[in-house]
Amino acid sequence: MRCYNHPDLEAVGICLGCGKALCPRCSQTTDPGILVCSENCGVRANSGFEMVNQIRQKTLNQNKVGGIFCFLGGAIFIFFGLFNLTKPHFFHLAIFLFATGISVIITGVMFLKVAKKSDHPTKA
Ligand SMILES: [Zn+2]
Ligand SMILES: [Zn+2]
C-alpha cells in the first residue's frame, strides 16, 4: 500500500477520518492515538468514536432489557411446567417446559453478565 499523497512512499496506516493511506510524513496522531491525515479528519474520527460509544451504550441497555425478558419468559415456562406436573398425562410436557424455562433463564443471566461487564466502559 502506497501513501495517498506520495505514491513513491510506503503507507504506514490509514486515516480514520477519510480512509486515505498515509506515510509517516502525512500521518498525525490525535488524542487517543488515532491516525489521521489532517486536523479536520481528527475531529471527524473523534466524533466517529463517540458514535461507537453511544451505540455500545444502547446495546448495553438492550442486553439488560433482554435479560429481564428472559427471566420473565423463563418464569412463565417454569410456572406452566409446575402446572402440568400435577397432570400425569402431561408429565413429559412439564419436563420440557421446565428445561426450556431454565435454559431461557440461563440466557437471561448471560445477557445481564454482558451488560454488567460493560457497565463501566474504559474512557478512551
Ligand atoms: Zn483524512
Ligand atoms: Zn505521504
The pLDDT, as a whole number, for residue 61 is: 84
Give the Å distance between the CA of 57 and the centre of ligand 1: 27
Give the Å distance between the CA of 1 and the centre of ligand 2: 11
The answer to whether residue 102 is domain-embedded is yes
The answer to whether residue 48 is domain-embedded is no
Q: Which amino acid is at 50?
A: E
The answer to whether residue 67 is domain-embedded is yes
Give the Å distance between the CA of 47 and the centre of ligand 1: 14
Q: What's the total number of domains in the chain?
A: 2
Those residues whose beta carbon sits under 5 angstroms from the ion ligand 2 are 3, 5-6, 23, 25-26
The answer to whether residue 69 is domain-embedded is yes
Contacts of 23 (CB under 8 A, 6+ apart): 3, 5, 6, 9, 10, 11, 12
Shared domain for 60 and 109, answered yes or no, is yes
Closest ligand to the CA of 30: 1
Give the Å distance between the CA of 15 and the centre of ligand 1: 5
The answer to whether residue 123 is domain-embedded is no
The answer to whether residue 45 is domain-embedded is no
Which residues form the domain of 70?
A: 53-117
Q: What is the pLDDT along the chain (124 residues), one digit of tens a residue?
A: 999 999 999 999 999 889 999 999 999 887 667 889 998 998 888 888 888 888 888 888 888 888 999 999 999 999 999 888 888 788 888 899 999 999 999 999 998 888 777 666 555 5
Shared domain for 27 and 57, answered yes or no, is no
Give the Å distance between the CA of 49 and the centre of ligand 2: 24
